[in-house]
Amino acid sequence: MHRFLLFGLLILLYTGCKKEFRLATPDSEGLKALASQGDYYGDVLHIYFTENYKATSGKKDIKTLDYDPDYECGYTQEFEGGIVFKKEACIEAGGVNWAIHLPKVSEEELRSWVENIYAAELPDFPGEWTSEMEYGTRGGEAGCYYSLADKGVHWQVIVWCGS
């Protein structure tokens, strides 16, 4: 009997203490300012994660260009909360691709996050929802495009930027 009470108490403590994941609201102005600086230049998405979540890994699976081995064109990095961030920009004139796994949040919270991150990336190019799960530059012009996929236990966000 005591064993069942102890087990029940442990479950109650675990579920009561477990923090619900929340996406930090993107600071569009701050992200734009950091993105214009040398080390960070242009990578608003990576800046957002490094500024708002503790990295639980260094960059791994690092890819470089054949003609410029010092330039990191692709990598994976993990952050607290189960965030997995992957960047791929190794094809010349192929744009930049990101695949981001985010812990489960409401669809409304995720859609708001996408709109705010987009505003920091491309403040001069209005975005729009082209379907329930796709957001991008209005009119299909060159810019950035987000595709959201509900994977049950997490969200997968695919981002492509290019012309």
Residue 9 structure tokens:
């108490």
pLDDT at 117 over 90: yes
Which residue type sits at 112? S
Q: In the predicted model, what is the mean pLDDT of residues 25-41?
A: 78
Q: Which of 109, 111, 161 has its CA nearest to residue 137?
A: 161
Give the integer Cα–Cα distance in Å for 128 and 147.
12
Region 131-156: mean pLDDT is 94
Average per-residue pLDDT in the chain? Answer: 86
pTM of the predicted model as reported, rounded to 2 decimal places: 0.82
Two structure tokens written together for 121 = 């990336």
The pLDDT of residue 31 is 86
Share of the chain above pLDDT 90, in %: 57
- For 123, the token pair is 């403040």
pLDDT value of position 37:
78
